Amino acid sequence: MQVNKFNISKPKKYTDKQGEEKTQWNTVGTMTEFHKEDGTVSRIMDIPAIGLEANIFPFVPKDKAQEQTPAQSKPDNDDVIPF
């Protein structure tokens, strides 16, 4: 299984002493992505400041959701890996 980790950051614009506009990137959490051998991908987002630990799923428009089987539209609970 391949695991990728990402930072979740919020930009904050400021002006330095020379009057130049800069961006400070404040990290607010992480996202972990799990690539399994069968080709499926699971994602977990963790934002400690607000106590959020959530799974991430693709957005499926309502008209397309009817075309999916239940296995395609709902996650497998085995995909949840707590931090």
Domain ranges, ordered by start, for the chain = 1-14+23-57
SS3 assignment for 39-79: CCEEEEEEEHHHCEEEEECCCCCHHHHCCCCHHHHCCCHHH
For the segment 13-58, what is each residue's pLDDT rounded down to a tens digit?
Answer: 999 999 999 999 999 999 999 999 999 999 999 998 888 888 887 8
Please indicate, yes or no, whether the overall pTM of this predicted structure exceeds 0.95: no
